[in-house]
Amino acid sequence: MKTGLFYGSTLGAAKGVAELIAKEIEVDIYEVSNGIDDVSKYDTLILGTNTWGYGELQDDWQGVIDAFKEFDFTGKKVAIYSTGDQESYSDTFVDAIGILAEVVEKNGGVIVGYTSCDGYNFSESKALRDGEFIGLAIDDNNQSNLTDERVKKWVEKLKGEF
């Protein structure tokens, strides 16, 4: 069965990452502004968001987060990415990964696709656990030259973990 990729993007970067992922692995892509009912159809999920406000979820995700909290993620493997800006938002860099992961884990799901935080420069992030990101951090504002490579590497890892 395919993986369901659900993303919300304000300026287009998280959407661009979804499109890069789709080149590397078979996914059904959903924009969360159209609803998230189909989340329950998938055993493997990729969730994409930006981090906005000050350490908040992307706006469309905010609109569906209450419904998202109602899903039972037991038996599901979930990978999460967030776009962000490590220079301007060094204290809340890609916090949205941590926000979504908390819901998934509370509701029985397993987070896969941890990545190293080597090569980034920030102060704090809710996406960190034991020195690693619990998802993929993409910074198109400051490191757009690394985006393709980071996505490819991550998807290869996911293929082994899904």
140 lines the binding site for ligand FMN (CB under 6 A): yes
- Does 135 bind ligand FMN (CB under 6 A)? Our answer is no
Which residues, in sequence order, are CB contacts of 16 under 8 Å at separation 6+? 9, 140, 147
* Residue in 2, 12, 69, 119 binding ligand FMN, rule: CB under 6 A: 12
Of 34, 25, 153, nearest in space to 6 by CA: 34
Cβ-proximal residue to ligand FMN, closest one: 84
Nearer CB in complex with ligand FMN: 96/111 = 96
Structure tokens at 52: 């906005």
3-state secondary structure of 83: strand
Separation CA 155–CA 161 (nearest Å): 10
Residue choice 30, 52, 120, 133 for contact with ligand FMN (CB under 6 A): 52
Point out which span in 11-19, 27-35, 62-70, 146-154 binds ligand FMN (CB under 6 A): 11-19
What is the dihedral sign for C-alpha 66, 99, 27, 18?
Answer: positive
Nearer residue to ligand FMN within complex by CB, 45 or 127: 127
Residue 5 · residue 22 · CB < 8 Å: yes
Residue 24 or 31 with smaller CB distance to ligand FMN: 31
Q: Which of 1, 54, 118, 160 binds ligand FMN (CB under 6 A)?
A: 54
* Amino acid found at 158: L
Of 9 and 109, CB closest to ligand FMN: 9
Is 92 near ligand FMN (CB under 6 A)? Answer: yes
